[in-house]
Amino acid sequence: MAKSTQNIKNTKSDIQWEINGLLLISFGVLGIFSIYTNAVGAVGNFISKNFKGFAGQAAVLIPILVILAGVYCLYYKKKPNISFRTIGLLIIFTVTVLLIHLKPHANMIEKNFINRLRTSADIGVEGVGGGILGEIGLSFLISIFGTTGSTILMITFVIIGIILITGKPLTGLIQKIKPSIKNKNIPINPPSQNKNIKVITNMIDESSVCENDNRGIEEDAILKNREENQTKKLEKDREVKEEPIIINGDNDEEKKYKLPPVSLLHKNTIKQGGFSEKELLNSAQTLENTLESFGLQAKVIQVNCGPTITRFEVQPSPGTKVSRIVNLADDIALSLAASDVRIEAPIPGKAAIGIEVPNKAKSPVYLRDVLESTEFRTSISKLTIALGKDIGGNPMVTDLSEMPHLLIAGATGSGKSVCINSIISSILYKAYPNEVKFMMIDPKVVELAVYDGIPHLLTPVVTDAKKAAVALNWMVTEMERRYQAFAKEGVREIARYNEVNNEKPMPKILVIIDELADLMMVSPREVEDSICRLAQMARAAGIHLVVATQRPSVDIITGLIKANIPSRISFAVSSQIDSRTILDISGAEKLLGKGDMLFFPVGASKPTRIQGAYISEEEVENLVDFSKKQREPKYEKNLSDFNEIEVDNKRHEESDELFHEAVSLVLDSGQASISMLQRRLRIGYARAARLIDEMEECGFIGGYEGTKPREILITKEYFDEYINNQ
């Protein structure tokens, strides 16, 4: 009887464990479907957000571990033991999460711990990084062992986890792997050909080599796998939801403002252009034969197919002068039937020369392609800008705050205005109105007018070249005011100031000048002095310049401006002289136009060739409308009357009521400056500027002389007599 009762109890226990196992397996399968699809409804959405927020890209490992636990319960009819194998699985899971989170953690290092946790959870939900678990683990490890020490420690734990899972010592595992390595048939072609493979075998797919044995290993080796460079990367990067890229906000007003979704931009549906495999092979062979006909022994070791051009990487034989190949540019263009050829000699970081040939069919690069990339989404900076794609089809994303100013030049129709639109749009996708402010100066009137009314503007778009000089002067005053505020708080830069004053943080300011030439024709000295002062000192104050011009001549891009704006972008120009004016090197004269650019950031040894991201007028209007509907712009009080300032040579009919007091202050202090009048009379910049202009028109003070103070031309006695005569 007792035995029968015991059997009944065992049967009930087995049924219970089977039910538990099935429930765990079901929950694990639901978790996997929740992470990768929207087919599980509200519950699935909840599971997906929590799993991804906790473990980021490694979230799928959580339901897999649950399924393994369910299988164990179903098979063994008992609770899973905490064995060495279980510990090994948990170690592998944890270390995987930490390794995935290394790059996002490095991008967030400037934030405090709580903000890093929030950002990690946000980007984890988007499938980037290792979520909250990755941030907590890395913060602990790196604070004790540093980045290098933590990496070594994590690799060690991976090995320990493998040993615990397999239950075999490391020496036994190595001995088991050795025979399989020895028996592997590595050579595909005769040994005599293997000398030329070592440099380039890692560039191609083994499967493609096996499938094309009859073609020869050297032919396969020169073909860069374009799908690996572009299609595969886009598949990984384009898992983006139709929602703002980064969500942040310090107050209720900012939380109500939503960053624009990428669905406002057009999706690229055009297939990759360029050359076919056969054409690439023939071109590579033609290139080698052409060089050989001039007595130069060289070999094509790699081919990179980009959106606009294809670059053949040529390795010359020892003793060959690089200049000899560079001088053959026209002959190479003739042999390849190309419109033009640009030669980069040598390629930075490689023992090769790059020969860039235009594609027969160009592939457009849309701004959405770059905004959806991992590089853009994981960047923390509010001044992250999407430029386009490089020769290999990789997204080019950079931080404007590190440049810290940018000069853009190129001929008419080469892509400058589209580039500026891409820069502005990138920042609108990253920053809230209280984080970044724009001052837009557009003497051409029509280029930036579309942005009038967005909440990020400090002032309406300035379209009068004369008023633009006043705007730049105000920006210099704002820079000085910020440095005075920094001095009071004992800090050196805006990031530290905002940490100390987190209740009223200063926004970063981006000054965009769409046509420098018009400003230099109207007020050359004032504009040059203001730009140079801002370029020299404004970085730490959070003020950055983007200056564009279609006249890259020395009277527009002066030596002072070039010296103070080290980061530059050059689009196609008409001559080598123009290229040297912008970049200090030739090469821009060989660009193809339509967004083809050379990007030369500060600190780089050579410029990078990029196909600029394209954004249409319709997309810009959609983006602007989205921002305008959410909030009205709050213009700076001292700037709101820019468009009312009269800057001409006629004397004002009605004198300012503070005019006499202002002249007395100038005579007493011995200096005639706008900032002094602002402080002493407690008035805005525009009114102080009008008072100075009126004094100059009356002949009381001299004209503007750049960094030199204005000369005072009258005495107190003369001014007293002037008042009495009135």
Q: Specify which residues 614 forms β-bridges with.
A: 366
- Cα separation of 401 and 388, whole Å? 18
Q: Residue 388: how many CB atoms within 10 A of its CB? A: 28
**What gap in Å lies between CA 204 and CA 113, rounded to an integer?**
42
Is 414 flagged in the annotation as binding?
A: yes
Place of tokens 């990755």: 134
Contact 570, 550 (CB under 8 A): no
The two structure tokens encoding residue 27: 């929950």
- The three-class DSSP label of residue 466 is helix
**Per-residue 3-state assignment (H helix, E strand, C coil) for 121-162:** HHHHHCCCCCHHHHHHHHHHHHHHHHHHHHHHHHHHHHHHHH
Tokens 């009126």 — which residue? 694
**Burial code of 239-277, b = ≥16 C-beta within 10 A, e = fewer?**
ebeeebbbebeeeeeeeeeebbebebbbebeeebebbee
Cross-strand pairs, 587:
none
CA 191 to chain centre: 46
411 in a known ligand binding site: yes
Beta bridge partners of residue 672, listed in sequence order: none
- Residue 410 marked ligand-binding: yes
Q: How far is the C-alpha of 150 from the C-alpha of 178, rounded, in Å?
A: 29
Rg of the chain over CA atoms, in angstroms? 32
415 belongs to an annotated ligand binding site: yes
Spatial CA neighbour of 71 closest among 17, 6, 125: 17
For residues 312-339, one letter each, b for 16 or more C-beta atoms within 10 angstroms of the residue's C-beta and e for the rest, the string is bbbbbeeebeeeebeebeeebbebbebe
Separation CA 358–CA 340 (nearest Å) = 7
Which residues are known binding-site members?
A: 410-417
- Would you list which residues are annotated within the binding site for ATP? 410-417
